[in-house]
Structure 1
Amino acid sequence: MATFIYTGRDAKGAHVQGQQDAATSEDIASRLFSTGITPLEIYEKKNQQDSFQQLLKKFGFGRPKLTDLILFCRQMYALTKSGIPIVQGLSLLSTSAHNEIFAEALRSVTEDISTGRDLAGSFARHPNIFNSLFVNIIRVGEESGRLDEAFLRLFHYFDTDKVTLEKIKSVLLYPAIVVVAIIAAITFLMAKVIPKFAEVFRNFNLELPIQTRLIIAISEFVANYWWLLAIISIAAFIGIRNYVKTDVGRLKWHQNKLKIPRIGDIILRATLARFARAFAMTNTAGVPILTGLTVTARAVDNDFIESKIHNMRNDVERGDSLTHAAINTKLFTPLVIQMLSVGEETGRIDEMMDEVADFYEREVAYEVQNLTKIIEPILTVIMGLMVLVLALGIFLPLWDLMKIAQR
């Protein structure tokens, strides 16, 4: 809920102003019209705390997590199963929600339902929390009178999806931490340790080998121009981040992620597992195939694969079979294509897509385990080579210095 300030004119033409709490400015306008007031201006009241909270929201702080949505679906299943009215259940959950943004969204949904809006439409007004997949499953459950089953399906889907996402993160996190640690260690050596050795070498007028001179030159550059390197790094980070936010940049980034050796294959299989699981759920819930492909394409969180699924949907819309459309995407293995073909021929697409999701998830688990075993020795060798280069660059002149001292 937010506080809105309004100005308007009543039925007699008199100027009126005031403030009210509501979810949106449209709600304020509806209230004013119902009381005979024609609104002229409506704007949200801001204060310093609200501005700070909005800034935090902009950078992603405080946003609802997937665990919030999982818990909500599980609780809504229990409430609808026991026959508690939707408005009462949502009101209860909004007061117990730990995340303020999520609680605010639930209060808004509760108010919308109270004014006559359908449940799916109320959720759809908060796309950053309830995506199109969620909304369509709820809409089917609402129309069929089986909301409890809809919330249970969503709970199982998001719970499984959370495990898949954690596997993807674990694949990327470990190498990233090690690489950052290596860069930090080398930067420290270059900025603090190497310059002291360089000073000693200069005092003795030693003739330094090429690798030592190169290391010292890099070290002096880092020590003297660290601020420039920091500015370049920050500018590069901001530039890349802003580019990835564009449609073209995001598509390129998502496509290139899939080309990373070993890691790209894991990301692809995990993403296809998410698609298969989501599509199976929409099919089980009774969502039409074309609609199911549309909403699951948005749920995969990869623009490149999303574009392939949209192509798949377009092929089906033109009359192709689902299997043939899947072949055209060139994303699925022959085994998966065969499973999909059997499901389409027997009318059990939902069951087969669940099997496909299980197949991909097993492969992801196996590949993640193997990747961890492969990455550790590779990173160890890389670190060893870098240390060796630094050691030779420093200890060779020290060896010459010891010879001079013995004479």
Structure 2
Amino acid sequence: MKYLWKGLKAGEFESGVIEALTRDEAVFLLKEKNIIITDLFGDESPKIVKVKTKTKLTLFSSKNKISEKQLLLFTRKLSAMLSSGLPIVPALEMLRDQSENEGIKKILSSIVEEVNSGISISKSFERYPDTFDSVYLNLIKAGESSGSLEKFLDKICQSLEKKIKIMSSLRSALTYPIILLVVAIGVIIVMMTFVVPVFAEMYSNMGKALPLPTQIIMNISNWIRSPFAILFVILLFIGFIFFKKKVNSNLTLKRKVDEKLLRLPVFGDLIRNSAIARIATVLSNLVSAGVGLIEAIEISRLSIRNEFLKEALENMKRDVFSGMSLEAILKKDNRFPETFKAFIGVGERTGKLNDMLASIAKYYEEEFDGSVDRLSQLLEPVMIVFLGTTIGFILVAMYLPIFSMGSGLN
């Protein structure tokens, strides 16, 4: 049986006719030639291309915003469809029809139109940088050039999974301490607003000087119930917003703040380990995909937020361009830990840099998990002690005059 095919080879559109006993054999033969199939026509193809699922699959839950989890699910499904032999255009059309997210529907509709009009897959994806970051786009481009798009989609999935795991671990570690902090603040405000005034009114008729702790608590209570407290909170919030905008708009200031963050106990390790794991993952994926080292360093620089480490990567990119080895570059920069430098040095000397980058990513992901555990173990008891100590101090302070009266009677 003859099959008419359209597809991409090394980023260029081609078409032709191939003979095969079945459609699956035609797909296999085309893949052997490193061709990414966009369309495959034959007696069997309409049955396969136009197949409709009986149950509508929900790919995106929100209406417009595309989260990283939704992007991961989309990429994983696209990879599975391409691996099963479905051409890229029908696969994108199926994912578009299954999606409930208006934003992704528009993007996929546009990509399908562009691919059908002769624009390459990577160029079509590049039109949406807010959805697909530079790592995603470069791996798509590498997959398109090699004719193994599904393999590089799997790499994208791995990268997204690691990124999501890091953020999920951090949220899990901070959730309980934040809940405790909110409860503590709520309890303190309730006590200061409703409980302390009752004691204050009772003690006002005593006509005696109150102990210092009691007087301090009553003064704080009076201040919290005054309009000045609300004004203070508003000014504090405005000040925080102003400071944040100032930091984000001033690169030098942002770099200094990020440097200070890296020096914080526990939190600093958390930030550094997550950033280095991300850098190593991006570099490993891009270098293995055939992306040039300088370009890979630039993309990894864009994938992290810490400006202090970004500056180090910018310097690294410049020095690599001038001909220096990575090992020599890292020796003169103290922003990266010694373990990172050692891994890079071994990888460069043995010619297995990509393997070492993958090992670095795994090592620092484990270090990040350890930092998260330490943070959780540190914050939980600290918040419990803070809550108990604060409430205990308020109660003791409010009962001190009564204890004093009892001592006086004795």
Q: TM-score, normalised by structure 1?
A: 0.78
Give me the whole-angstrom Cα distance separating, in 1, the residues matched to 2:66 and 2:169: 20
Match in the other structure for 1:242? 245
Q: 1:151 to 1:317 in 2, by over 3 A?
A: same
What CA RMSD, in Å, does the superposition of the two structures yield over aligned residues?
2.4
Give me the whole-angstrom Cα distance separating, in 1, the residues matched to 2:139 and 2:311: 22
| CA deviation string 1:338-381 (max 9, x = no partner) | 22112112221111111011111112222322332232222233
Secondary structure of the 2:231 match is helix
Match in the other structure for 1:364? 368
Q: 1:78 to 1:260 in 2, by over 3 A?
A: same
Match in the other structure for 1:231? 234
1:148: how far off? 1.4
Letter in 2 for 1:101: G
| CA deviation string 1:136-183 (max 9, x = no partner) | 111111122221111111111111221122223334444333333322
Match in the other structure for 1:181? 183
Give me the whole-angstrom Cα distance separating, in 2, the residues matched to 1:401 and 1:61: 65
**Residue 206 (1) aligns with residue 189 (2):** no
Q: 1:180 to 1:258 in 2, by over 3 A?
A: farther
Letter in 2 for 1:69: L
Match runs of 1:216-365 below 5 Å? 216-225=218-227, 226-248=229-251, 250-365=254-369
Match in the other structure for 2:56? none
1:298: how far off? 1.0
The 8 Å contact of residues 255 and 304 in structure 1, kept in 2 or not, is answered as: yes
Match runs of 1:154-169 below 5 Å? 154-169=156-171
**Residue 141 (1) aligns with residue 143 (2):** yes
Match for residue 86 of structure 1 among 70, 85, 88: 88
| CA deviation string 1:288-327 (max 9, x = no partner) | 1011111111112333322221221111111111122233
Give me the whole-angstrom Cα distance separating, in 2, the residues matched to 1:128 and 1:331: 30
Q: 1:193 to 1:244 in 2, by over 3 A?
A: farther
Secondary structure of the 1:212 match is helix
1:403: how far off? 5.5
Match in the other structure for 2:8? none
> Is 302-311 or 174-183 further displaced after alignment?
174-183
1:276: how far off? 0.6
Q: 1:253 to 1:129 in 2, by over 3 A?
A: farther
The 8 Å contact of residues 91 and 106 in structure 1, kept in 2 or not, is answered as: yes
Give me the whole-angstrom Cα distance separating, in 2, the residues matched to 1:250 and 1:238: 14
Match in the other structure for 1:394? 398
Give me the whole-angstrom Cα distance separating, in 1, the residues matched to 2:337 and 2:355: 18
In structure 2, runs of 5+ residues without a counterpart are 1-61
1:128: how far off? 1.4
1:393: how far off? 1.8
1:192: how far off? 1.8
Secondary structure of the 1:368 match is helix
Match in the other structure for 1:5? none
Match runs of 1:41-80 below 5 Å? 62-80=64-82
Letter in 1 for 2:141: R
Give me the whole-angstrom Cα distance separating, in 2, the residues matched to 1:180 and 1:67: 28
Q: 1:188 to 1:161 in 2, by over 3 A?
A: same
Q: 1:78 to 1:247 in 2, by over 3 A?
A: farther
In structure 1, runs of 5+ residues without a counterpart are 1-59
Give me the whole-angstrom Cα distance separating, in 2, the residues matched to 1:234 and 1:336: 39
1:245: how far off? 4.1
- Structure with higher RCO (Cα < 8 A, 6+ apart): 2
| CA deviation string 1:40-72 (max 9, x = no partner) | xxxxxxxxxxxxxxxxxxxx9952111111112
Give me the whole-angstrom Cα distance separating, in 2, the residues matched to 1:213 and 1:61: 55
> Is 315-324 or 369-378 further displaced after alignment?
369-378
Secondary structure of the 1:286 match is coil
| CA deviation string 1:193-224 (max 9, x = no partner) | 21111111102223112222122111111101
Match in the other structure for 2:194? 192
1:398: how far off? 2.4
Q: In the comparison of the two structures, how many residue pairs are matched? A: 347
Give me the whole-angstrom Cα distance separating, in 1, the residues matched to 2:276 and 2:201: 57
1:75: how far off? 1.4
Secondary structure of the 1:117 match is coil
The 8 Å contact of residues 311 and 329 in structure 1, kept in 2 or not, is answered as: no
The 8 Å contact of residues 191 and 223 in structure 1, kept in 2 or not, is answered as: yes
Give me the whole-angstrom Cα distance separating, in 2, the residues matched to 1:212 and 1:76: 66
1:109: how far off? 2.2
The 8 Å contact of residues 206 and 397 in structure 1, kept in 2 or not, is answered as: no
The alignment-based identity, stated in percent, is 28
The 8 Å contact of residues 168 and 267 in structure 1, kept in 2 or not, is answered as: no
The 8 Å contact of residues 280 and 360 in structure 2, kept in 1 or not, is answered as: yes
1:259: how far off? 2.7
Secondary structure of the 2:132 match is coil
Give me the whole-angstrom Cα distance separating, in 2, the residues matched to 1:323 and 1:64: 39
The 8 Å contact of residues 309 and 329 in structure 1, kept in 2 or not, is answered as: no
Give me the whole-angstrom Cα distance separating, in 2, the residues matched to 1:305 and 1:105: 33
Letter in 2 for 1:72: F
The 8 Å contact of residues 313 and 325 in structure 1, kept in 2 or not, is answered as: no
Give me the whole-angstrom Cα distance separating, in 1, the residues matched to 2:96 and 2:306: 31
The 8 Å contact of residues 327 and 341 in structure 2, kept in 1 or not, is answered as: yes
